Amino acid sequence: MFDFKARLEKTRAWMEGSHVDAIVLINTRNIYWLSGSAQASHLVITKGKDPALLVRRNIDLAREHSWFPREWIRPLGSTKDTIDAVLAGLPSHDGKGRVGMELNGLPASYYLSFVKGFGNGIQVENVSDAMRGLRMVKDVGELEKVAAAARVAEKTQDVVYDMIVNHFKPGTTERDIAAEMVHVAKQNRSEHYCIYDNNAFTNYNNFFIVTSGEALWKPSTFPIMSGAGFSPAIPYGPSDKVLKEGDMLVCDYGVLVDGYHADHARSYVINGVYPQYYKERYRNLKLAYERAIDAMVPGVKASDLFKIAETELARIGDPEPGVKIEKYFEGNGQYYQGFGHGIGLELDEPPFILKSVDTPLAPGMAISLEPKIMVPGWGAINFEDNFIIEAGKRKPTLLTRTRYLDA
């Protein structure tokens, strides 16, 4: 299913082209991507020797899960074992070379320990972004996993649609909806956390955003539409707010199934009592979204997708006199976020769909596109779907098909 050997060859080719003599990986996502095991370990890849998977705890499970030959998998006693494996595999054999590590998330204590152990002849460089870049284009097995996760995301959103549109009960809270989402996702084998940020360790995070009222346009923590949360200690996610007729609601969540993510959002109005301008803004955002989807073909830059949607929204205009709705595309006029991102072993990974990112789309990329408008004093609308970029000039394959409102 997974082409692990091709991934290792791709990594070695990058090392050769970048003149990196060795890499030390501690991020479990990168280790799993290359070895097939996510056991706590260090993975050393050098130009001069076979890879070494140095396992901190359960070496038997690592050998069971990994495609690596038994001799490539060894116990890890301390960082000295990793340092010795690097030095032994350097092509120069004189203790000199360039070694890559995931510095974006590596604790300073780890970094200092490795630098001291390597000695003055080793130049340590950051390979965090390079490793994420190598994972951008997925193999067939990975795309199947993302598609399976998307099916779970769709089932979860279908339950929300039913609770809000078909069978809304007075007294329902944001927490009630979030609880049903988590229940359905878990019943379909999703973990109760997602993985994002290129952290050297796991950085597991819950990502069930259910939000309404002022929290739709007043950001708290990441992401910009984050929800109020239950308390200042965890200032994001669902709250105890009771939903009432006419309230706008956004449900944006990630699921994690067999190590791969899907990210899906829809917007609702309680009991179908639409606030002023809602129907028009809902339709207009969807039209701008569809223009961007039509442009998702190989070779188109990530920044182009953002600009296409923003430009189309401006062209359509806004039903409220004097409002330039494009000002509130992907933000509230003060704080902004991107139009989308890659999905895979992390919830948010390259390519990032930003105005400033010119990464071209390529066949085999899994992309989550998330258009939103956030109008202070009014509310917000947010959609999010997952796609696979196809070869040629074909439109992308849509993975999430939850219904839209009949707005």
Is residue 131 predicted with pLDDT exceeding 90? yes
107: tokens are: 């604790």
Contact 392, 366 (CB under 8 A): no
CATH of the domain at 385: 3.90.230.10
86 closest CA partner among 119, 134, 112: 119
At 201 the pLDDT is 46
141: tokens are: 């097995």
> Are 12 and 61 part of one and the same domain?
yes
At 203 the pLDDT is 44
21 closest CA partner among 110, 97, 118, 121: 97
Is residue 199 predicted with pLDDT exceeding 70? no
Q: What is the mean pLDDT of residues 274-287?
A: 98
Tokens 């595999």: give the residue: 89
Q: What is the mean pLDDT of residues 128-147?
A: 98
- Last-in-domain residue among 87, 116, 134: 134
- Last-in-domain residue among 114, 134, 154: 134
Q: Is residue 334 in some structural domain?
A: yes
Q: Is residue 407 in some structural domain?
A: no
Is residue 204 predicted with pLDDT exceeding 50? no
Q: Is residue 405 in some structural domain?
A: no
CA distance 322 to 25: 53
CA distance 246 to 226: 21
CA distance 217 to 174: 16
Q: Is residue 181 in some structural domain?
A: yes
Q: Is residue 47 in some structural domain?
A: yes
Q: Cα–Cα distances in Å, from 55 out to 62, 66, 153? A: 7, 12, 33
- Last-in-domain residue among 79, 105, 134: 134
At 270 the pLDDT is 95
> Are 155 and 120 part of one and the same domain?
no
Per-residue pLDDT tens for 352-394? 999 999 999 999 999 999 999 999 999 999 999 999 999 998 8
165 φ/ψ angles, rounded to the nearest 5 degrees = -85, -40
The helix (run of H) or strand (run of E) holding residue 386 is strand 385-388
CATH of the domain at 70: 3.40.350.10
- DSSP code per residue over 349-385: EEEEE-TT--PBP-TTBEEEE--EEEETTTEEEE-BE
Q: What is the mean pLDDT of residues 4-23?
A: 98
Omega of the bond leading into 223 within 30 degrees of 0 (cis): yes
Q: What is the mean pLDDT of residues 193-209?
A: 65
Q: Is residue 290 in some structural domain?
A: yes
Per-residue pLDDT tens for 260-274? 999 999 999 998 899
Mean pLDDT lowest among 148-152, 202-206, 271-275, 282-286: 202-206
> Are 268 and 365 part of one and the same domain?
yes
> Are 127 and 261 part of one and the same domain?
no
CA distance 53 to 40: 10
Is residue 28 predicted with pLDDT exceeding 50? yes
CA distance 74 to 57: 10
At 159 the pLDDT is 94
CA distance 55 to 41: 4
At 197 the pLDDT is 65
Q: Is residue 404 in some structural domain?
A: no
Is residue 207 predicted with pLDDT exceeding 90? no
> Are 35 and 117 part of one and the same domain?
yes
Tokens 């009432």: give the residue: 244
What percentage of residues in the chain have a pLDDT greater than 70? 97
CA distance 70 to 341: 37
At 206 the pLDDT is 67
CA distance 366 to 147: 9
Is residue 246 predicted with pLDDT exceeding 50? yes
352: tokens are: 């990032």
Q: Is residue 10 in some structural domain?
A: yes
- Count structural domains, the chain: 2
> Are 223 and 300 part of one and the same domain?
yes
> Are 144 and 256 part of one and the same domain?
yes
> Are 98 and 212 part of one and the same domain?
no
69 closest CA partner among 92, 86, 50, 56: 50
- Model confidence at 48, pLDDT cuts 50, 70, 90, reads confident
At 94 the pLDDT is 83
> Are 199 and 239 part of one and the same domain?
yes
Mean pLDDT computed over every residue of the chain? 94
> Are 153 and 250 part of one and the same domain?
yes
Q: What is the mean pLDDT of residues 134-146?
A: 98
Q: Give the domain extent around 68.
A: 4-134
Is residue 61 predicted with pLDDT exceeding 60? yes
Q: How far is CA 332 from the centre of its chain?
A: 22
> Are 235 and 370 part of one and the same domain?
yes
> Are 290 and 364 part of one and the same domain?
yes
358: tokens are: 């010119």
CA distance 396 to 389: 5
Is residue 175 predicted with pLDDT exceeding 70? yes
Contact 345, 29 (CB under 8 A): yes
370: tokens are: 């998330």
Per-residue pLDDT tens for 291-318? 999 999 999 999 999 999 999 999 999 9
